[in-house]
Chains A and B, each alone.
Chain A
Amino acid sequence: MKSFIIAVLFISNAAVATAQQQDLSTYLATAKSSYAANKLEDAHFALQQAIAEVDILTGKKVLQILPATLDTMTADTKQDNVYANSGFIGATIHRTWGQGGTQTAELDIINNSPLIGTLSAFLNTPIIGGMMNSEKSKAIKIQGYKGRLNNDGENTSGPSEYSLQIPLNTALVTFKVTGATQDQVIKYANSLPLQQIAKLIQ
């Protein structure tokens, strides 16, 4: 039954991706014909729409390469989300694992995030990084990428709350885990295919 559901989800995902691929082709055709007719603004609009479609297709490709499980946590693909923002912030990709369990994890990848500058300053400027390093926040390396690990739930009575922020090119990867130890968070983060993600969203 489980494999049947996975197969149905996979087929429906593939169908949506094909439809989006067709949308991309339509926008490209519109751009080409508008440009040939010297309707530059129409060509411009069609190209912008095409970029938004590409962002969504890229996001879906990223979701495909994310692990289906993180230790005992299973991906809740119903909550998978990709949306393209035209303008300042680029595409946003979201996945959740372990919904309803004692441990949960969330991954958000935001392209062209405005927080990249601040985070890079923290990671690459010793004086700033030093001032901001504490028991609740520290710089670490995951698969060779520098990142900042925050312990947000240290002084609360509830489960632990860790958030890991990693800048990948112009994208910000935020990985939040609740109810896990620091070592587990690092272990889960190491199972994310960061290099492949960086290549896809570059």
Chain B
Amino acid sequence: MKKIIACFSAIVFISCITPQAQAQGLLKKLKDKVNDKVNTITGGNASSTNNSNTNGSATSNSSNSSGPVNRTGAGLTNTAPPDVLSNIAKAETAGKDTNYSQVRYALQQAIMGVEIQLGRQILQSLPNTVDGLTKDTTKNVVSSTQFGWTNMTIQAVYSDGKDKQMTVMIGNIPMYAGLVGLYFNSAYVQNNMVDKNPNIKQVQVKGEKAIIQFDESTGYSLIAQLGQSTVIAWQCVNFATEDEVMKAAESFDIAGIKKLMGEQ
């Protein structure tokens, strides 16, 4: 009995709503027709005309309900890297007072300063042109994290101004270096990777072991492990052949980079 009452109430409820919904649908269709007609006559967009009328002025288009839109501001200025010697001096002073949290902070700043300076030296040592591509100095990046997976990453971008580009990344990245080392030192991993992914293989860049990989969407990538914890990676977009990638990579002073990174 209860079920019958429930069904009946549902039917009554739907029948009450449906005419209203149908009427709303009809009204919308009518509005759309009128808008289309006005558009064809004025050659504009009826809805945007409506909006500008309600807003009252053209300038009010830029403001919205979430507040004003920013139009000014000079951005952030590039600050100098932390001064290494003054931070070491701060660490020494704080160490004498056994204020170890301050010592740690000063040391982190000093490390950041050293890494940024080292990164700039390495960037300067990189060739200005490679395989007809010019170094885009506006895309030079030296980043330093005081802890985490990576300590320091240096990036340089070479481009022909069109669609051919090479991005070089040099990093003190123990984790990646470990993975590359694992690849070279484990026959099982090598076989397994080659078996599953035929687009990856071992090569040598100026006597350093490296892995080259090709992917249709990202192009060629070449990764070489330099010493214990340094990794250099080239990401080459729109390079024609593997040989072209290898030739471009060999134009880098690998021994010089190794020396600067403190590798043997």
- Hey, which bits of chain A sit against chain B, CB under 8 A? 21, 24-25, 28, 31-32, 35-36, 40-45, 47-48, 50-51, 54-55, 57-58, 61, 87-88, 90, 112, 199-202
Kindly state whether residue B261 has any CB partner on chain A within 8 Å.
Answer: yes
Chain A residues with CB under 8 Å of B91's CB are: 28, 50
Knowing A28-B91, A32-B88, A44-B262, say if A58 contacts B147 (CB, 8 Å): no
Beta-carbon contact of A58 and B104 below 8 Å: yes
- Quick one: which of B82-138 are within 8 Å of A by CB? 84-85, 88, 91-92, 95, 98, 100-101, 103-104, 107-108, 110-111, 114-115, 117-118, 121
Chain A minimum-CB-distance residue to B121: A40
Partner of B85, one of A25, A35, A87, A112: A35
Rounded to whole angstroms, the CA-CA distance of A70 and B82 in the bound complex is: 45
Chain B residues with CB under 8 Å of A36's CB are: 85
Known: A28-B92, A44-B262. 14 other contacts (CB 8 A): A28-B88, A31-B110, A32-B85, A32-B88, A40-B262, A41-B261, A42-B262, A44-B111, A44-B114, A47-B110, A47-B114, A50-B107, A55-B104, A88-B147
Beta-carbon contact of A41 and B104 below 8 Å: no
Task: Count A/B pairs, Cβ under 8 Å.
Answer: 76
Knowing A41-B262, A43-B84, A112-B147, say if A61 contacts B111 (CB, 8 Å): no
* Chief secondary structure at chain A's binding surface: helix
A12 → chain B, closest Cβ, in Å?
18
Chain A residues with CB under 8 Å of B108's CB are: 51
Chain A residues with CB under 8 Å of B103's CB are: 24, 54
Q: Name 11 A/B residue pairs within 8 A (Cβ), A-sorted.
A: A24-B103, A25-B95, A31-B88, A35-B84, A44-B115, A47-B107, A51-B107, A54-B95, A58-B100, A90-B147, A200-B100
| 10 A-B pairs closest in CB distance | A41-B262, A40-B118, A58-B100, A47-B111, A44-B114, A54-B104, A51-B107, A54-B103, A202-B101, A54-B100
